[in-house]
Amino acid sequence: MSEEQWPPPEARARAALWEAERRLTAGEYAAAGAALEDAVAHGDPGTAAVARGLRQLAAAGYRHEDGDPVRAQRHLARARERLAPFLPAFDEVELDALLDLVAAAVGS
């Protein structure tokens, strides 16, 4: 395996999900969204779908912090839709807990 392929793409995607979970838990929404790039780009279809849902969740938190409650609620609703097939957890990421955490922060 070449250096370019190490760590393997699926391992990078999994690590990106875990990093995003950590960032979302800390309320670091922009950093969480950025951390998910590897998961979207290198993950299998399920991992990429969860990453897109988590990106919506990060956007909800970010929009709330930015003072845009309408868009925050819209992003939160979309995150719920995208993550619903994978609840309560995916690859050791507690999706239901993250949804609850961001919903509480957004005020939903």
pLDDT single digits (tens) 37-58: 889 988 999 999 999 999 999 9
Sign of the torsion formed by the C-alpha atoms of 99, 102, 105 and 107: negative
pLDDT at residue 2, rounded to an integer:
55
Q: Distance between CA 35 and CA 15 in Å, rounded? A: 9
Q: Using an 8 Å Cβ cutoff, are 103 and 67 in contact?
A: no
Which residues are CB-contacts of 19 (< 8 A; sequence separation ≥ 6)? 32, 35
Domain borders along the chain are: 3-106
Tell me: the pLDDT tens digits for 63-85? 999 999 999 999 999 999 999 99
- The CATH T-level fold of domain 3-106 is Hyaluronidase domain-like (1.10.3450)
CA-to-CA distance for 38 and 13, rounded, in angstroms?
5
Give the integer Cα–Cα distance in Å for 93 and 86: 10
**Length of the chain counted residue by residue:** 108
Residue from 76, 70, 92 nearest 17 by CA: 92
Cβ count near 85 (within 10 Å):
11
Q: What is the pLDDT of residue 58?
A: 98
